[in-house]
Every structure is written in structure tokens, then in C-alpha cells.
């Protein structure tokens, strides 16, 4: 405990338990002279000077006021200044930032295309050091990369233009899973999703694993394209990233799709071949007799053999 807290505790013990001053100090192992000591110094001149400075600079905290006092020739310990600053009620009230509160939306097993799209951004830079952003859109079931849009910045209207182009080509999704970036929480983006009856699945802040499919895709994008490419400018980045997207969709085997390419898997799914293959595999499986049928057959054979011996 600090000294002020010890003194306050001694006072409470004397009031509540009727302890003497010496006994209460003995319990807390504090000297009686220390408890009786009262400071003789006066903080009024410094308090007055501090209040005058705070009125001139109402948005200055105690650290800046301390610097102004030092400039005027006043030498005072910063801890003493902070104590007087708080006692005078000069603390600045700062508004706490309101953080977005989201409920966790677990990843669901999708059984068809366009049931859910995963959307996120990845960052890189060109040769001159200028930062670029890549908007990624991935189908959660077929793993197709639906868009890799490259630019220096993205407003919400730019994001919806990219999504409009995808919707015109393959139809609207049932849900979109994304984070809480300003482009994806703006009124325009929310209104666009409501108008098209698309469910928005915002993940919780600081938990990218709730959008694990797009994070896995970004790992492949970084390892196979961004980390091994040198972008001379924005147009060069667009060209190389578009070429990698085509290779990813049409040539690269995907382990979670049975080492088919996303485009091949999507075509098979659309034609219903994956369902037919699954049914054929199940029909070719060897059927084993159940335990009850085996025991019944064994019991019938044993009974017949016993009757033959007795006769």
C-alpha cells in the first residue's frame, strides 16, 4: 500500500473497531510519527499558476503544461505537478472510440456454388514504393477466384462495381463473408446488399480465422504471385495478378477439391457429375453382412449338424 492508503486504513480501523492510534499503526506496521506527520508545504502558488495556464490552453494536458512551466523558469517535479493537476480538476475528458461489436459467425459447410462469397483485401507495393491493394473475391464452395481487382485505393462504390460485374456473369450469392473495413460497412455497401437480398456475414474484429477460406487463398496468392513478382507500376501489377488468377482457376490443382482445378470442379458440380461419382463409389463398395445375420446363420448350421449326428 502507499502511504496515503495506509493512513486512510488506520483511520477506518479506529472508527470501526475503536482501536487506539498506536494499536492501529502497530497492526499495519507503520510508525506513529509517520501517521501523525502533516506536510507544511503549500501548493497554492503552483496551483494558481497551473490553473491560469490551463485556462489559456484548455486542451493541453499536464505534460505540456509542465513544459510551459519549465519555460517560465519554474522547476517542479512532474509527479507533484500531476497530483496538483488532478486535485484541481483539470483532467481532460477524452471520448473513447466506439468499437464495432459483432457476433461470431461460424464457417458453414457449403454444398453449392454462389451460396457464399468470401471477400477481403491484400496489400503490396510497386517498384517506386507506392502501396497497392488487391480486392479478392472467392467462392466458398468451388474455390474459384471470382475477382482480383488491383488499385491504389478502394471506395465502397468501387467494390460494388466489381461485385456487380460478377453478379451479371454468374448470378448473385446468398451471402458474403467479409471483415469490418470502412468499404464493407458503409451505408452504400449495406444498401447494395439489402437491395439484392444478400446476407452480410461480418466477422468479429481481430479474428481473421472466421474468414479462413479467403485467408488461405491469400496465403497462396502471396507465396505464388506477390512474393515472387516485381511490379514496375500499377499496370504491370494488374497484368501479372490477372495472369496468376487465370492460372489458379484453370491450371493449378486444388487439394481440397480432389486435386481438380476450381474451374473443372465447378463444371463437374454444375453438371452433377460429382454427385454421380459419389453414388457410383458408394454402390461399388463391398457390403458386409451384419453381426446379427452372421450369428443367426451360425446358430442354424450348428443346430442342423447336431440333429444329423443324433439321428
Is the Cβ–Cβ distance between 126 and 231 less than 8 Å? yes
In terms of average pLDDT, the best of 28-32, 241-245, 296-300 is: 241-245
Three-state DSSP state, 64: helix
Bridge partner residues of 117 (DSSP):
139, 176
At residue 251, the pLDDT reads: 94
Same domain, 147 and 76: no
Asked, for residue 276, whether it belongs to a domain, the answer is no
- In tens, the pLDDT along 148-158 reads 999 999 999 99
**Mean pLDDT, rounded, for 22-29:** 91
- In tens, the pLDDT along 259-310 reads 999 999 999 988 876 554 544 444 443 333 444 443 444 444 444 444 443 3
Asked, for residue 239, whether it belongs to a domain, the answer is yes
pLDDT band at 232 (very low <50, low <70, confident <90, very high): very high
* Domain interval for residue 51: 3-87
Is the Cβ–Cβ distance between 104 and 210 less than 8 Å? yes
d(CA 95, CA 301): 87
| Count of domains observed in the chain | 2
Is the Cβ–Cβ distance between 110 and 176 less than 8 Å? no
Same domain, 80 and 147: no
Which strand (E) or helix (H) includes residue 24?
Answer: helix 21-27
Q: Examine the fold and report which residue of 40, 68, 87 is the final residue of a domain before the chain moves on.
A: 87
Closest by Cα among 229, 234, 217 to 151: 234
Asked, for residue 252, whether it belongs to a domain, the answer is yes
Same domain, 161 and 263: yes
Same domain, 83 and 121: no
Three-state DSSP state, 146: strand
Listed in order, strand segments (DSSP E) in the chain are: 117-125, 131-139, 145-151, 175-178, 199-202
Same domain, 179 and 58: no
Closest by Cα among 63, 60, 67 to 82: 63
CATH code at position 210: 3.30.420.10
Using a 10 angstrom Cβ sphere, with 0-12 exposed, 13-18 middle and 19 or more buried, the burial of residue 21 is middle
Is the Cβ–Cβ distance between 218 and 244 less than 8 Å? no
At residue 93, the pLDDT reads: 80
Same domain, 126 and 253: yes
CB-side neighbour CA atoms (13 Å) of 100: 16
Is the Cβ–Cβ distance between 136 and 218 less than 8 Å? yes
pLDDT band at 236 (very low <50, low <70, confident <90, very high): very high
Same domain, 64 and 195: no
Is the Cβ–Cβ distance between 133 and 122 less than 8 Å? yes
Three-state DSSP state, 304: helix
Task: Say what the pTM is.
Answer: 0.60
Same domain, 124 and 245: yes
Using a 10 angstrom Cβ sphere, with 0-12 exposed, 13-18 middle and 19 or more buried, the burial of residue 148 is buried
Q: Examine the fold and report which residue of 38, 66, 87 is the final residue of a domain before the chain moves on.
A: 87
Closest by Cα among 155, 172, 175, 153 to 164: 172
Same domain, 77 and 122: no
| Higher pLDDT pick, 56 / 285 | 56
Which strand (E) or helix (H) includes residue 263?
Answer: helix 262-271
Same domain, 263 and 133: yes
Three-state DSSP state, 153: coil
Asked, for residue 111, whether it belongs to a domain, the answer is no
Asked, for residue 132, whether it belongs to a domain, the answer is yes
At residue 100, the pLDDT reads: 63
Bridge partner residues of 199 (DSSP):
175
Same domain, 71 and 193: no
- In tens, the pLDDT along 162-208 reads 999 999 999 999 999 999 999 999 999 999 999 999 999 999 888 89
Asked, for residue 150, whether it belongs to a domain, the answer is yes
Residue the block writes with cell 473443372: 264
Evaluate if residue 110 carries a pLDDT over 80.
yes
Asked, for residue 101, whether it belongs to a domain, the answer is no
**Least confident residue range of 68-72, 221-225, 292-296:** 292-296
Same domain, 121 and 252: yes
pLDDT band at 224 (very low <50, low <70, confident <90, very high): very high
Asked, for residue 94, whether it belongs to a domain, the answer is no
| Higher pLDDT pick, 69 / 39 | 69
Amino acid at each position: 500500500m502507499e502511504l496515503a492508503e495506509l493512513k486512510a486504513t488506520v483511520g477506518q480501523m479506529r472508527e470501526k473497531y475503536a482501536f487506539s492510534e498506536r494499536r492501529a499503526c502497530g497492526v499495519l506496521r507503520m510508525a506513529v510519527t509517520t501517521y501523525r506527520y502533516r506536510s507544511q508545504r503549500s501548493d497554492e502558488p503552483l496551483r494558481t499558476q497551473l490553473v491560469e495556464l490551463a485556462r489559456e490552453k484548455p486542451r493541453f494536458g499536464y505534460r505540456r503544461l509542465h513544459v510551459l512551466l519549465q519555460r517560465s523558469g519554474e522547476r517542479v517535479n512532474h509527479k507533484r505537478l500531476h497530483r496538483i493537476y488532478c486535485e484541481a480538476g483539470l483532467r481532460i475528458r477524452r471520448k473513447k472510440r466506439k468499437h464495432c461489436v459483432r457476433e461470431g459467425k461460424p464457417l458453414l459447410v457449403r454444398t453449392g456454388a454462389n451460396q457464399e462469397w468470401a471477400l477481403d483485401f491484400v496489400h503490396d507495393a510497386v517498384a517506386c514504393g507506392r502501396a497497392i491493394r488487391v480486392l479478392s473475391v472467392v467462392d466458398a464452395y468451388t474455390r474459384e477466384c471470382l475477382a482480383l481487382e488491383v488499385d491504389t485505393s478502394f471506395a465502397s462504390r468501387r467494390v460494388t462495381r466489381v461485385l456487380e460485374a460478377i453478379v451479371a456473369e454468374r448470378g448473385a450469392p446468398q451471402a458474403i463473408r467479409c471483415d469490418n473495413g470502412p468499404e464493407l460497412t458503409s451505408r452504400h455497401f449495406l444498401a447494395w446488399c439489402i437491395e439484392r437480398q444478400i446476407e452480410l456475414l461480418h466477422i468479429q474484429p481481430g479474428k481473421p480465422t472466421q474468414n479462413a477460406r479467403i485467408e488461405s487463398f491469400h496465403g497462396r496468392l502471396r507465396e505464388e504471385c506477390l512474393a515472387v513478382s516485381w511490379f514496375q507500376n500499377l499496370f504491370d501489377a494488374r497484368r501479372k495478378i490477372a495472369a496468376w488468377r487465370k492460372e489458379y482457376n484453370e491450371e493449378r490443382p486444388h487439394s481440397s477439391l480432389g486435386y481438380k482445378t476450381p474451374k473443372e470442379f465447378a463444371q463437374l458440380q454444375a453438371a452433377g457429375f460429382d454427385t454421380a461419382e459419389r453414388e457410383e463409389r458408394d454402390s461399388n463398395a463391398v457390403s458386409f453382412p451384419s453381426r446379427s445375420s452372421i450369428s443367426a446363420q451360425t446358430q442354424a448350421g450348428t443346430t442342423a449338424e447336431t440333429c444329423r449326428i443324433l439321428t
